[in-house]
Amino acid sequence: MTAATTNGAAPLPGRVDTLTDKENEGLKKTWLRLIEVFQQKGVEWVPPVKVEEVKEVKKSRWGFGGKKESTENKDLFLGATANPEWLSLPLEKALPLIPGEALGITFWNMVAGDNPDAVVLRFLRARKWDLDAGFNMLMNCLRWRIVMRVDDITALGETGIRNELETLKPGMGESFIKNLHSNKSVLGGPDKEGRGISYINVRFHKKEDQDFEVIKLMTLYVMETSRMIVHQPVESSCIVFNLEGFTLANMDFEFVKFLLNCFEAYYPETLGSCLIHKAPWVFSTVWTMITPLLDPVVASKIHFTKNLDELAGFVDMNVLPPFLTGTEEIKVNNDKFPCPPAGTLDRKKTPEYQDYEDMIREYLHETHAWAKTDLPAKDTKRKQQALHYRHASIKAANYLRARTSYHDEGLADLENGRLLLKFCGRVPTIDITDCV
Higher-pLDDT residue of 156, 326: 156
258 within some domain: yes
The count of domains in the chain is 1
CB 193 within 8 A of CB 238: yes
Taking only the tens place, the pLDDT of each residue in 110-143 is: 999 999 999 999 999 999 999 999 999 999 999 9
pLDDT at 47: 83
36 within some domain: no
SS3 (DSSP) at 266: helix
37 within some domain: no
197 within some domain: yes
Rounded-to-integer distance, Cα 49 and Cα 46, Å: 9
66 within some domain: no
Q: What's the mean per-residue pLDDT of the chain?
A: 90
Checking DSSP bridges between strand 271-277 and strand 412-415, what pairing results, if any? unpaired
Task: Determine the residue type at 1.
Answer: M
Mean per-residue pLDDT, 230-247: 94
Taking only the tens place, the pLDDT of each residue in 181-209 is: 999 999 999 999 999 999 999 999 999 99
228 within some domain: yes
Position 331 confidence tier, pLDDT thresholds 50, 70, 90: confident
Range of the domain at 242: 169-325
341 within some domain: no
Taking only the tens place, the pLDDT of each residue in 12-62 is: 999 999 999 999 999 999 999 999 999 999 998 988 876 554 444 444 333
Least confident of 30-39, 309-318, 347-356, 394-403: 347-356
pLDDT value at 85 more than 60: yes
CATH number at residue 217: 3.40.525.10
130 within some domain: no
Rounded-to-integer distance, Cα 106 and Cα 98, Å: 12
pLDDT at 2: 38
Nearest Cα neighbor of 402 from 320, 343, 331 is 343
